[in-house]
Amino acid sequence: MQAIKGTHHSSIHERDLFWSKEAELVHWETPFEQVLDFSNPPFAKWFVGGQTNLCFNAIDRWLESQADEPALIWVSTEVEQEKIYTRRQIYQEVNAVAAMLAAQGIRQGDRVLIYMPMVPEAVFAMLACARLGAIHSVVFGGFASVNLAQRIDDASPKVIICADAGSRGGKVTPYKPLMDKAISLSTRPPEKVIVVDRGLFPFEPVPGRDLDYATLRKQFDGVEVPVTWLESSAPSYVLYTSGTTGKPKGVQRDTGGYAVALASSMQRIFNGQPGETYLCTSDIGWVVGHSYIVYGPLIAGQTTILYEGTPVRPDAGILWSLVERFKVNTMFSAPTAIRVLKKQDPALLKKYDLSSLRALYMAGEPLDEPTAQWIADGLGKPIIDNYWQTETGWPILAAQPGIEHVQTKFGSPSFPVYGFDVRVLNEQTGEDLGPDEKGVVAIVPPLPPGAMTTIWGDDARFVDTYFSSIPGRKVYSTFDWGLVDKEGYWFILGRTDDVINVAGHRLGTREIEESINSHPAVAESAVVGVADQLKGQVAMGFAVLRDSAAYADPAAAMKLEGDIMKRVDEQLGPVARPARVRFVTALPKTRSGKVLRRAIVAVCEGRDPGDLTTIEDPSALEQIKDSL
């Protein structure tokens, strides 16, 4: 553990020297003049004055040595298609998309919203934006019109790139109709919509607005677009994450710091080298997809696998068959995927040749010890838990085998990653806590390279949200409980706020509540995250009706629940749908009117709700229990 501790100490106490060395892993068109500018805390600027480009680092600089080597492998078990792109072919595709975007007036600093399934065109679109210096905002395909409209209004994209549809488990999910509705709801609609027509769902193009991707691709075939060199702190993308208010937060990422963090982490955390193959089963709509499907592996000179499908289609051996076929060296997945596989034939874990695989990394939600033990026994490979957030862009806590091989503990994401000065603090006093003492996991600024630089268009919200919740300390709060044991291993114990984690998807309960409350029969509601063996957490809703007598009949109540579910589906997408919506006549509140969500969660999970003296009407909690 000494090498990991030494590296971490250098990254915090010898920042300039340490990060200057890490910055050598990427190409700088113009050298930086200053490693860190922290003159306006908590805002950090890394590699000041340096000019670089994410697309160049991912594609162009590898052409001399890897032009004809595989760089992107697309496998879809949804449409039964596969395609392998060399680095040169990606270069050609990205240049064509950059040219088509430039033809629509996209320039440095313009926003492009991408609403796409796991298809190569989505990767090309992201890299094309980076090439032009445009700011992309990828929206997860599970989100519906209201979510989309919020993000359109906040980002003000000049162009949207979307697909006709995606597919999940063999079921087609229309994208284009949801996008059209979102644009109709938006106050800042785009000028153009470029549509990738996969032939999955018929649609009518909007005259004068919609353009066909395939037609444009032919038009700009062979065109080369020069790289736009960006100052290191220039925004690369905005990725929205749920907040405790109804309005999503646009996490803004820089360019130079992000490139350095990813290049460094691919070596030190993921222990990889150029020419290797990396499989990440996330989605490009999430931060893991940005960092470790698209940018990280390509910047590191590796082959990345883009997989469209589920872990059980055509059978539960599909992921391991990909490892065997493409000689995957590093794999990254989520605990939910492994819990799904636990219900399948365990013989499939032994069916394929996994000799190329060094380790399976897990993140996105807490990895429980039984699941970790099961997959470790089944694969006979190291299981490396790691913990991070959309906001940080790369792991905060992880074993770091590229620095030193250490013993891991199931249930623990191991140790602080270099660059992150992580502490466990008392939430009321702000004091540092000792071993085995539960507190809030916080990061002492400056945040390292690759972390968010602000909230898009709202510096004040950035400061208020992340740096103002711990008394007496201007530190970044992760809003997670945690502790460090006597051996120095870290453990994450759940959220301190109202954001829940459903199968690795972060959902703001406030957003779901607002959707439920929009139903005319509902007076108010509360949504909480309840522990679930498969998904980690599920959303559970409790609603107070305007006229409960009208729904006293069980059939009427069941129909109303279905109507509310459908409304949440239509507004936010199936990812946000609660497991159930129960009807009560009152919610448990304090005398000041605050809903006691922790007490509701405790009741739902069969635990003692604790001190109830603050509840104005104790019978309300009994109603919650009875409704279950």
pLDDT for the residue 591: 55
* 618 pLDDT above the threshold of 80: no
Report yes or no: 93 and 85 within 8 Å, Cβ to Cβ: yes
pLDDT in tens, 135-160: 999 998 878 888 899 999 999 999 99
Give the pLDDT mean for 170-181: 95
Strand ranges for 67-138 from DSSP E? 70-76, 81-86, 111-115, 135-138
Report yes or no: 259 and 299 within 8 Å, Cβ to Cβ: yes
Question: CA-to-CA distance for 492 and 367, rounded, in angstroms?
Answer: 10
Instruction: Give which of 544, 547, 549, 465 is closest to 508, Cα–Cα.
Output: 465
Q: 577: which 2 tokens?
A: 């749908």
pLDDT for the residue 552: 87
In a domain, 181, yes or no: no
pLDDT for the residue 498: 67
pLDDT for the residue 403: 97
Instruction: Give which of 398, 384, 320 is closest to 356, Cα–Cα.
Output: 320
In a domain, 329, yes or no: no
Q: Which DSSP category does 32 fall into? A: -
Per-residue pLDDT band at 1 (split at 50, 70, 90): confident
In a domain, 588, yes or no: yes
Q: Residue type for 327, please? A: K
Number of separate domains in the chain: 1
Q: What is the pTM of this model?
A: 0.85
Q: 585: which 2 tokens?
A: 């006549």
pLDDT in tens, 437-478: 989 999 999 999 999 999 999 999 999 999 999 999 999 999
In a domain, 581, yes or no: yes
User: Beta partners for 619?
Assistant: none
Per-residue pLDDT band at 524 (split at 50, 70, 90): confident
In a domain, 547, yes or no: yes
Reduced DSSP (H G I as helix, E B as strand, rest coil) percent helix, strand, coil of the chain, to 5:
35, 25, 40
pLDDT for the residue 246: 61
Per-residue pLDDT band at 510 (split at 50, 70, 90): confident
In a domain, 605, yes or no: yes
pLDDT for the residue 354: 97
* 559 pLDDT above the threshold of 80: yes
Question: CA-to-CA distance for 270 and 283, rounded, in angstroms?
Answer: 19
Per-residue pLDDT band at 245 (split at 50, 70, 90): low
pLDDT for the residue 611: 57
Question: CA-to-CA distance for 296 and 71, rounded, in angstroms?
Answer: 12
pLDDT for the residue 590: 63
In a domain, 621, yes or no: yes
User: Beta partners for 308?
Assistant: 76
CATH number of the domain encompassing residue 539: 3.30.300.30
Q: Which DSSP category does 463 fall into? A: H
Mean of all residue pLDDT scores within the chain: 93
In a domain, 531, yes or no: yes
Question: CA-to-CA distance for 127 and 146, rounded, in angstroms?
Answer: 27
Domain that holds residue 585: 504-627
Give the pLDDT mean for 553-571: 92
Strand ranges for 277-404 from DSSP E? 277-280, 303-308, 330-333, 359-362, 383-387, 397-398
Q: Residue type for 514, please? A: E
Per-residue pLDDT band at 340 (split at 50, 70, 90): confident
